[in-house]
Structure 1
Amino acid sequence: MGTGAAVPTGAAHPVPRPVSRRRPLEIAFWVIDAVVGTVAASLTVHMDHVREGLAYAAWEPWVWEGSSRLMVLLLVPAVVWFTARWPLHFDTWRRHLPLYLLASLAWSLLHVGGMVVLREAAYAMQGLEYDFGDVLRQFGYEYLKDIRSFAGIVLVLHLYRFVLRRLQGEAALLAPPDDGSAPVEPVDRPERFLVRKLGREFLVAARDIEHVQAAGNYANLHVHGREYPLRTTLSELEQRLDPARFTRVHRSWIVNLDAIESIEPLESGDARLLMRGGTQVPCSRRYRDRLRNG
């Protein structure tokens, strides 16, 4: 935006599904993908072997494909974390691309290594020995397949997050005017944030933010049960929020002092904060003094 303040062109709407409800659906998606992929690939291998007249035991395709899909499923959380920590944007993809190439290699090593261990265990249960073949040659073959699978998962995760941000709304800082005139409100200490959602825009007052949670290169603003990702780090946002109202209580959390309902000390020296609306936020020992002083 090129003005000191924006005029709302739409009203805020509730997030389609809170994070706590989305998580089981996200897990179910990957589990279903693994199950369907295992069944489809195993049946395909079975038909190929029958057509070519190759000798094999009926259980072998299920072990081959099931071990591979299970390792992919176990590695998905690592890819979720990695892509959230180093997302691909128009201004970062060149810098992050080498990291993704290294990550694909590490992902393939873990995938192939785990897959071979599972197959060896399954064959040992049948009194047989699994032969992976020449390690370097076979790994090269597997890596060519794995890099495509890795890229597919990365693409799915980025598309999912893109759609989610459009549905729930994405926050942005108000920019100073294009004509060089003084902004209506301080830019370095924003009183409001602009939220774009489904082609409409509206403003969120900084005082209405109940807490902020770090999410990779984003900081999620929680406002009245809604969640708006702001593309910034938590440390950068902390410098711009009013210290009289907001304080850091954890390496991943900032809270609005006025939104704290109660503080529950823990035996570890940490604390648990109950926020307005029922959200529980962790408070680390190193930040408890800040909370007391606030």
Structure 2
Amino acid sequence: MTISAHPTPAHARWPAWLRPHAWVFLYWLAFLLVLEPGNILRASQAGQTLSLPHEVIRILLAALLGTTVTSAVHALVERFPLRGPSRGRHLLIHVAGAAGLALTLVVASCLLAAWVFARRWLPSWDEIWDQLVSNFTLLMFALAALTALVQVGLQRTASTVPPARPAAPAPALDAAPALTQVQVKRRGQVISLPLSDVDWIEAQGNYVALHVGAEQHLVRDTVSRFAARLDPLQFQRIHRSMIVAVDRIRVFEALANGDALLHLTRGGPLRASRSYAAAVKAAAPQPNLKK
């Protein structure tokens, strides 16, 4: 039996989806505990005594309820990041999203209170309105702080992951050499077209279109099969249906949503999806790149 000298931390063994929810649960728990002295003071001024078991159950249920918005907040931050040229519009989207989440949490908390404590199926409209007046602003503040924490966390994660430069494939003894030219038709004649003349390639039905300046030439093939026969140091996939010659990239323009706009020496511009943008940036000639 082998024993590792560096055991894996317990939190690292948690499922990836559970870790952010656990941190958000602790966030809501801390937020509710900070508010609890105010609740006790108001109850005391009203001549009421809060039951400790009742308050513990209420705080735990409220923290669990707040944790349910974790995925929604992450999705909003990833889809509408609070940086880049569109941050003003994205901020308005986040405000609207936080308002919707706060309203949902208020209604859900009233339902839980009716079921668990009042033994009723539905709360009254007065109870919902009272909770909205008392807690809506606090929930908006809590959701804004949570959004900021998620944004910082995603930025730190992105900054610690260096862009991967695609490694040249190891030569195999039986591997076919990369294509250097293809046979195409031009004005009724079959000619040999050097791939070094091609600016970019796209799928068109059962064909791939090779763009050479203002001209295009069709070759019957799928884009995936054709891409597998190209030199990866010369051509890069930028979309599931599009390939670009890396030495034709003049300007690499990063977009706010993770995509990129590629300005070519001729033709274009072409849009690289976020799945391929990092690899394209790493493979393209560095002096020609601009953010």
TM-score of the pair, normalised by structure 1? 0.47
Instruction: Please report the TM-score for the alignment, with normalisation by the length of structure 2.
Output: 0.47
